Structure 1
Amino acid sequence: MLLVGSPTAALAGMTIGSGVGALAGWAGCGRPGLHRDVQAPALATVRASAALLGFVVLFNLDLLLARHHLPALAAGEYAVGSIVAKVAFWLPQGVGVVLLPRLADAGRRHRVLGPALALVAASGAALTLATAALGSRALPLIGGSAYGPALGAATWCFAALGTLLALTQLLLFSDIAGAGRVPGAVVWTAAVAECAVLEALAAVDALSPRTVVSTATLTAVTLVGAGLVRLRRERAASGRAVLSPAAAADGSAAPPVPQPR
């Protein structure tokens, strides 16, 4: 950036920096080589990459469609409001980074995921309440006095959206660490559904900054709900798996069958 100072230079610097970071990590791990059987790791990598790519698309979809369909002033206000969503999303990112290795342990995943979700939700709730308390002053505080008429006091919706997306990402990390096959399809389905709803609203001239953020928030609520349902089912299944061998060991799995004399 200092040498050239252009977007191309910024992207080139990010690419070089990421490559250097990957090489440093490889060297720090003892320079491991490739295993002969790469099919299973390759499939796991493809599934994880597809799920994360779908999440990146979903994460930016509302902003892209708002820029495409809304008038210039409304699109500008939505872009400023999305900064609040990004803050709410990135603020608790350290939680997922720290917990990701632990989430790969099936025995510890369910114990650590609940408190992690609660911590992310608490930080997002605090930011959402603070944004709601500012009301119509929140957007001008970030972007200046020219922004605010279209959204008014609804800036807190962006904070709620960012919080829900942070919860979605944490649940997605848990599914990826557990080698789940469902999350990628769920995330891509949600992205397609959100796009279809927003395009339908645009076709009937019912699209506004509030309807865009409301649709994105509803999509995130659905994803979080689906993730919590999967988590509950996994806990129930693991509980049955733990109780069955114990019951069989102490003879309480089934009553003894009387033998004929």
Structure 2
Amino acid sequence: MKIDLNADIGEGFGRWKIADDDALMALISSANIACGFHAGDHLIMDRMVRAAKKHQVSIGAHPGLPDLMGFGRRTMVVSAEEMEAMLAYQIGALRGIAARHGVRVRHVSYHAAFGTMANSDQELADRLAQVIAHIDPELVMLSMPGHPIEKAAQKAGLGVRHLFLADRAYQANGNLVPRGQPGAVIHEPQLIRERIAYFLKHGGVVTQDGTPLKIESRSILLHSDTPGSDVLAQNIFAQITEMGGKITPPE
């Protein structure tokens, strides 16, 4: 059983760090690197690419809204044209840094409100997917199953990789429990272990109201800004190995 352990990474800024990126990079198999809008900067991006190359971690762009104060989690009143330009700008920045180190950007994973806005408007999701396809039709879109982002990627001819979010609670309809609500973010190691075990055995998750939810995925996402993310990553890594799985970049 091959499992991709994926993490949002490089989400500091300047001298400020949000997580132990070095510890995470040694454990994961694919990384969504912040591209300087919601977090990250040119030096952090460069360091993340070099670390990914060292650890043979597949990299992707993690574009967000230009909102450092809100960590890209606040929706903004911007036009579709501006979001298209934001997306191209951020992917292009990471591709340039990656090319310098002989590394290729393999996927795109929208951050927070950027993805929320795309998922709330199929036309917008379609336009953004076309931007990605024009930049590189071989880029893969990371998405939760059944969402407008996935549908848009399919229309644009992009590959799609489904994600299971290890540290976020799910609703019965397949959406995430909104941040700010009780239990939305899961950071207790034992609860994470139970979720990972259920996911590996049953291919799904138990939602917040106790309903089993099927999730067709072999990629587990961990948010680096979840408290103790490096310890959680160590636990997930160990648990997958103990259950006979192998952590490997997506094929």
- What range describes the TM-score normalised by the shorter chain of this pair? under 0.3
* Structure with the bigger percentage of helix: 1
TM-score (norm 2): 0.28
* Structure with the bigger percentage of strand: 2
TM-score (norm 1): 0.27
Larger Rg: 1
